[in-house]
Amino acid sequence: MAARTRSARYDSPAKESGNASGKIVAVLAVIVAVIAVVVIWQYFQARQSITISATPGGFERTNDTTLLLNVDVTRKNTDVDSYCIVTAQNYNVEEVGRREFIIPAGGPKVQRFQVEIPSREMPVAGRVYGCSENPPHYLTDLARP
Q: Are residues 40 and 89 in the same domain?
A: no
Torsion region of 58: left, alpha or beta (phi above 0 gives left; psi -120 to 50 gives alpha): left
Computed over every residue of the chain, the mean pLDDT equals 86
Question: In angstroms, rounded to a whole number, what is the distance separating the alpha carbons of residues 22 and 29?
Answer: 11
Q: Are residues 113 and 128 in the same domain?
A: yes
Q: Is 135 exposed, middle or buried (0-12, 13-18, 19+ CB in 10 A)?
A: buried
Each residue's pLDDT tens digit in the chain (145 positions)?
555 666 666 655 545 555 778 889 999 999 999 999 999 988 887 777 678 999 999 999 999 999 999 999 999 988 999 999 999 999 999 999 999 999 998 889 999 999 999 999 999 999 999 999 989 888 877 655 4
* Three-state secondary structure call for residue 86: strand
Question: How many domains is the chain partitioned into structurally?
Answer: 2
Q: Are residues 76 and 139 in the same domain?
A: yes
Q: Are residues 16 and 40 in the same domain?
A: yes
What is the dihedral angle through the alpha carbons of 28, 30, 31, 32, rounded to the nearest 10 degrees? 90
- Per the confidence metrics, is the pTM higher than 0.85? no
CATH number at residue 109: 2.60.40
pLDDT digits (tens, 9 = 90+) for 44-74: 877 776 789 999 999 999 999 999 999 999 9
Residue 90's domain comprises 52-143
